[in-house]
Structure 1
Amino acid sequence: MTATAPPASRPTRWRRIRRSPLTHLVLAVVLLALVQAFVIKPFQVPSESMSPTLQTGDRLLASRIAYAVSDPGVGDVSVFARPESWGPRPERGVLRTAVGWVGDIVGFGPSNQDALVKRIIGVPGSTVRCCSTEGHVEVDGQSLDEDYVVHDLPFTPGVSDCTTTPQSPRCFGPVTVPDGEYLVLGDNRANSADSVIGCRGTLPTTAECARFVPRADIIGKVVTVVWPFDRARIFTDGG
């Protein structure tokens, strides 16, 4: 008598689901979303305010982990969600919102998150002013060495500085940063809508003219530029 082969067992429903390309796609999207939510997130530079350090359209990666283990520090180039005090966020239609939702998940394409990129200059409790006699920004009385600033506002000691009338447009402060908030400036000081855009040239004695970034709005620390390739770089301390 010839033995017959046992009938091939049919895959169970769970096995079919696990082998499905759609399941693999969903898991990949979920994993990508988790990485962006907790580890590292790509962004596109929206303006020239950080030029020449960052140019409009540069694609960069911001580390969320960096600020999970330590607080933002002076000199960090950081990505943050536009605070409400910085003006209204752009209105978007249903289709644009849907496309942005996909972009926020996969990290490419349009985004619904109105994110900005600036350099942290003042941390909670510090006092920031400009300028020293040489035209430098000072934090708690110490001048910053900002070799990354190429396009600054005009300042000529004895001719147009913080003691002349009119004052140099570079001047502002002293401004004391409130608890839980940060003062940020663009590297392109001559063209940057940053924390002190409403303070320059007035030398206020209060922080009422300044607009700060709450800690909760800071998304991550810029660690690298990945596109375009000819501008790719890794950021060290101070950018």
Structure 2
Amino acid sequence: MSATEAPPRPRWRRVTGSAWFQLLLAFVVFGLILSFVAKPYVVPSASMQNTLQPGDRILVNRLAYVAAPPGDGDVIVFDADSTWDTGPATAVNPIKAALRWVGEVTGFGPSGSHTLVKRIIGTPGQTVKCCSADGRVVVDGHPLDEPYVFQDFPFQPGTLDCTTTPASSRCFAAVTVPKDSYLMLGDHRSDSADSAYLCRSGFPPPECWRWAHRDDIVGKAVAVIWPIGRWSGL
């Protein structure tokens, strides 16, 4: 080797300096961020209007509940279990399945069929019912102030409330939230298949409640990131 020739680069430098390695590293880092730090999610329905609109892309903080448990009023994304099914099972279309995978990874496209976004109204051990005399949800005896609620069920004290026949569809009996579970309601109360969805009739089935379970929580929704005109924190 002449004095003017540079020594050959070590093999590890040649590997790590290649475009393919750097592309692979970028995918690994991106995957780790999605798995453990933050994840985009597309809002699939109108159940959270007007806080969230159908098609909004939101950022979900996956580390939000590492040091503290989910709290009242948090908007969370969670994986729903079979009790949240609202219709018969259908065959999986491979194209739709692929699109859902892309949507789950990027936040642009449909998300998982059992991944939902709702607001926490009751945490483990709290007792929740509806309604107070003026039609509000009551948690541990305290009526909630909920300025975010959109198009609630009709409620008129003395005319259409929880004591009349028929009762207001806003009403549901008192329930104590089980351990490691959360009572979820949509902000668009009259258009949300939420925890109380099956319990609002005059004769609800014995096991009408549906819960978000602690281990199934993906994270806390913290911001709307798309479309640009709706950029905002939550």
Determine if the TM-score, normalized by the shorter chain, exceeds 0.5: yes
Larger Rg: 1 or 2? 1
| 8 Å CA contact 1:41, 1:62 repeated in 2 | yes
Find out whether 1:123 has 2:128 as its counterpart.
no
| 8 Å CA contact 1:183, 1:211 repeated in 2 | yes
Displacement of 1:15 after TM fit?
1.7
Find out whether 1:165 has 2:165 as its counterpart.
yes
Query: 1:161, 1:56 → 2: CA distance?
Result: 31
Query: 2:119, 2:20 → 1: CA distance?
Result: 42
Query: 2:32, 2:226 → 1: CA distance?
Result: 22
Corresponding residue SS for 1:60: strand
Closer, same or farther in 2 for the Cα pair 1:58/1:71, shift >3 Å?
Answer: same
Displacement of 1:67 after TM fit?
1.0
Query: 1:107, 1:170 → 2: CA distance?
Result: 33
RMSD: 2.3
Aligned to 1:219: 218
| 8 Å CA contact 2:64, 2:220 repeated in 1 | yes
Larger mean Cα displacement after TM superposition, 148-157 or 6-15: 6-15
| Unpaired runs of at least 5, structure 2 | none
Corresponding residue SS for 2:129: strand
Q: How does 1:120-159 map to 2 (within 5 A)?
A: 120-159=120-159
Query: 1:100, 1:169 → 2: CA distance?
Result: 34
| 8 Å CA contact 1:81, 1:219 repeated in 2 | yes
Match of 2:11 among 8, 13, 16: 13
Query: 1:214, 1:202 → 2: CA distance?
Result: 27
| 8 Å CA contact 1:170, 1:201 repeated in 2 | no
Displacement of 1:128 after TM fit?
0.8
Q: How does 1:2-151 map to 2 (within 5 A)?
A: 5-87=3-85, 91-112=91-112, 114-151=114-151
| 8 Å CA contact 2:56, 2:227 repeated in 1 | yes
Output the amino acid matched with 1:226: I
Corresponding residue SS for 1:66: coil
Corresponding residue SS for 1:68: coil
Displacement of 1:91 after TM fit?
4.9
Query: 1:65, 1:58 → 2: CA distance?
Result: 21
Larger mean Cα displacement after TM superposition, 182-191 or 5-14: 5-14
Q: Percent identity?
A: 51
Output the amino acid matched with 1:182: Y
Query: 1:104, 1:116 → 2: CA distance?
Result: 12
Output the amino acid matched with 2:177: V
Query: 1:207, 1:64 → 2: CA distance?
Result: 34
Runs of 4+ in 1 over 6 A off after TM superposition: none
TM-score by length of 1: 0.88
| 8 Å CA contact 1:46, 1:57 repeated in 2 | yes
TM-score by length of 2: 0.90
| 8 Å CA contact 1:39, 1:64 repeated in 2 | yes
Aligned to 1:191: 191
Closer, same or farther in 2 for the Cα pair 1:192/1:169, shift >3 Å?
Answer: same
Q: What is the total number of aligned residue pairs between the two structures?
A: 232
Corresponding residue SS for 1:190: helix
Query: 1:146, 1:123 → 2: CA distance?
Result: 16
Deviation per residue, 1:21-65 (Å, 9 max, x gap): 111111111111111111111101010000000000001111111
Displacement of 1:112 after TM fit?
4.4
| 8 Å CA contact 1:59, 1:227 repeated in 2 | yes
